[in-house]
Amino acid sequence: MVKAPVAGRVKTRLAKGIGSARATAFYRAATAAVIARVVRPQQWRTYLAVTPDRAASAPMWPAPCATFGQGGGDLGQRMQRVMERMPPGPVVIIGSDVPGITAAHIGRAFAALKGADAVIGPSSDGGYWLVGLRRRPRIVRLFDGVRWSHPSTLADTLTNAEGLNVAKLEELDDVDDARDYARLNGQNGRRVQPSRFAY
């Protein structure tokens, strides 16, 4: 799930703390880095579900990835749409602003779905950075009524998953505000650099 990196439309909470230009540059860099790390054509196919829809056909996105518009509705409706339109087989959805995501995480999620109905990667703010479904024998509606960007986002989703076998991955965090950004740069010992991708 990605947004076109346009100032004023991405990382608005982060922009309040570090400025719109730096927040947009961070999102651009983080998105490009995550895409570069998780694309593994020999293991799985990577799609970019883009918002706004018109940006899906822009030449900014890396060539190995197929793109399509997310469509309208809240985040849950858009993620459900992704689950329903993908080719047969398990599907894993990630956000594009979680600097810690690696291909190994994606591999573990798909491995978990060999035995589990769903897989979730929790975050410390009550949400999650990854969600996946085996999609057999049916595509479950995990996202109905979920309170997004809320301390109970994960709990609401797990309520929808009642009766399913749900595997959990390790906890990772996204970068929502200036405090998260400072923590990330402190861990890295350097600032996140702008991307080389032509967004």
Q: What is the pLDDT of residues 19-61, one digit of tens each?
A: 999 999 999 999 999 999 999 999 999 999 999 999 999 998 9
**Strand extents, DSSP E, 31-116:** 47-51, 66-69, 91-94
Q: pTM for the whole thing?
A: 0.90
pLDDT (0 to 100) of residue 148: 95
pLDDT (0 to 100) of residue 16: 94
Pairing outcome for strands 91-94 and 128-133: antiparallel
CA 8 to mean position of chain CA atoms:
20
Spans of all domains in the chain: 2-188
Pick the CATH number of 2-188 from 3.40.50.300, 3.90.550.10, 3.20.20.220, 3.50.50.60: 3.90.550.10
For the beta sheet containing 91-94, the strands, ordered from the edge strand earlier in sequence to the opposite edge, are 91-94, 128-133, 118-122, 166-168
Neighbours of 134 (CB within 10 A): 22
pLDDT (0 to 100) of residue 92: 98
DSSP H helices, 75-177, are 75-85, 103-112, 153-160
DSSP state of 156: H
Residue numbers of the chain with a pLDDT score lower than 50:
189-199
| Three-class DSSP category at 150 | coil
pLDDT (0 to 100) of residue 194: 38
**148 contacts: CB under 8 Å, gap ≥ 6:** 74, 75, 76, 127
Q: Are 134 and 116 in contact (CB under 8 A)?
A: yes
